[in-house]
């Protein structure tokens, strides 16, 4: 099987299983891989050729992006080897490629103590800021998830989180009763409709207000 045929097979499987954003990201890599190796026999492509391709594709980009492109190409070869039952080793699994495109070192996130979080919440200057902090701290919402919340996503103490970090279609979180009451009063006071976003602001604005509250209290933190 040549590379073009292999990519067509892989793309068909992806369209049935991936969301639009992930599909778009994979297509970026596969189209460029196809343009370079279109009619090469898939079994003839070696690790040196893949190394050169990835260097050309990702040179000057961040380590995270380089790793992502490498992982996507590795996934492609794993799929094709499995589907065609090829008796070959994944060319992306060479030690040179693995070391060159290794995952960036993970830094552990510092978890704030409950007393510190409570202090930040109680020092919020308005109900909006307090709710943002409470929904993060008490319900485990990330900033991006929180900013997508619409009035229609709130039902009594239940929050429906659309497109969560887990990449599921949706998840459900439950609020303590006091926060649910506070949120309900906030929505009523703002006269928001079911389709309205509860916190209409950009990610950087929300992140900055959380950091600003922490700085006023001499707390060092990185909002999730």
Mean pLDDT of the chain: 89
Band the pLDDT of 220: cuts 50, 70, 90. Answer: confident
Q: Per-residue pLDDT averaged across 125-129, rounded?
A: 93
Q: Per-residue pLDDT averaged across 144-170, rounded?
A: 87
**What CATH number belongs to 114-216?**
1.10.443.10
- The whole-number pLDDT of residue 125 equals 87
Band the pLDDT of 106: cuts 50, 70, 90. Answer: low
> What is the third-level CATH fold of 3-100?
DNA polymerase; domain 1 (1.10.150)
pTM over 0.75: no
Measured CA distances, 195 to 150, 163, 187, 189, 203 (Å): 6, 16, 12, 16, 20
50-99 residue pLDDT tens:
999 999 999 888 888 999 999 999 999 999 999 999 999 999 999 999 99
Q: Per-residue pLDDT averaged across 147-157, rounded?
A: 94
Number of neighbours of residue 206 by Cβ within 10 angstroms: 19
Q: Which of 28-37, 86-95, 113-122 has the lowest mean pLDDT?
A: 113-122
What are the domain boundaries of the chain? Answer: 3-100, 114-216
Top-confidence range, 16-25, 60-69, 81-90, 179-188: 179-188
Q: Which residues of 3-31 are buried (b: 16+ CB within 10 A; e: fewer)?
A: bbebbebbbeebeeebeeeeeeebbebbe
């Amino acid at each position: 099987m040549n590379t073009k045929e292999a990519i067509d097979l892989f793309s068909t499987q992806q369209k049935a299983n991936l969301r639009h954003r992930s599909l778009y990201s994979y297509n970026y890599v596969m189209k460029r891989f196809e343009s370079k190796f279109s009619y090469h026999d898939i079994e003839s492509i070696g690790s040196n050729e893949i190394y050169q391709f990835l260097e050309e594709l990702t040179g000057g980009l961040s380590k995270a992006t380089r790793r992502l492109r490498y992982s996507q190409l590795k996934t492609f070869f794993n799929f094709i080897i499995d589907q065609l039952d090829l008796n070959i080793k994944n060319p992306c699994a060479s030690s040179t490629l693995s070391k060159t495109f290794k995952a960036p070192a993970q830094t552990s996130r510092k978890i704030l103590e409950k007393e510190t979080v409570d202090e930040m919440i109680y020092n919020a200057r308005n109900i909006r800021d307090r709710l943002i902090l409470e929904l993060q701290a008490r319900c485990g919402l990330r900033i991006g998830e929180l900013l997508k919340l619409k009035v229609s996503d709130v039902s009594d103490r239940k929050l429906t989180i659309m497109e969560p970090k887990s990449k599921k279609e949706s998840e459900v979180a439950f609020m303590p009763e006091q926060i649910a009451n506070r949120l309900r009063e906030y929505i009523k006071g703002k006269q928001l409709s079911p389709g309205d976003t509860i916190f209409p602001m950009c990610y950087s604005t929300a992140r900055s207000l959380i950091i600003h509250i922490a700085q006023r209290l001499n707390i060092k933190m990185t909002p999730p």
